[in-house]
Amino acid sequence: MAALEYLNNAPHPKGYEILWRALRGHRWMDVTTGAMDRALAVHRMLAADSQHRNLRLPDLVIAATAEAHGATVLNYDSDYDRIAAITGQPTEWVVPKGSL
């Protein structure tokens, strides 16, 4: 899911191929049924405070998958702060918020 997020933002075919090669060297984590169940549970918790509609759904799946694998979510997206406020999982901004 994270790879699709990166690749979807490629500016042109050459950029896509550069990203594709770079991503192939990273750790891949399976998106399990358990992770999908967790994403749905977190979405429901967000809905209890009417916070579910302005959150990108792939971010929920990425966060739940990282949580299931004990991985830190490296990001540049405040959605992960909102998710982590509920789950308590580790997240880290790759550069300071607002710097890009």
Q: What is the pLDDT of residues 28-62, one digit of tens each?
A: 899 999 999 999 999 999 999 998 888 999 999 99
Q: Which two tokens stand for residue 41?
A: 């549970």
Q: What is the pTM of this model?
A: 0.85
Class of domain 30-93: alpha beta
Residue 68 is classified by DSSP as H
Burial code of 37-75, b = ≥16 C-beta within 10 A, e = fewer? ebbeebbeebeeeeeeeebeeebbbbbbbbbbeeeebeb
Q: pLDDT of 13-33, one tens digit each?
A: 999 999 999 999 888 899 999
Helices (H), the chain: 2-8, 13-24, 33-48, 57-69, 79-87
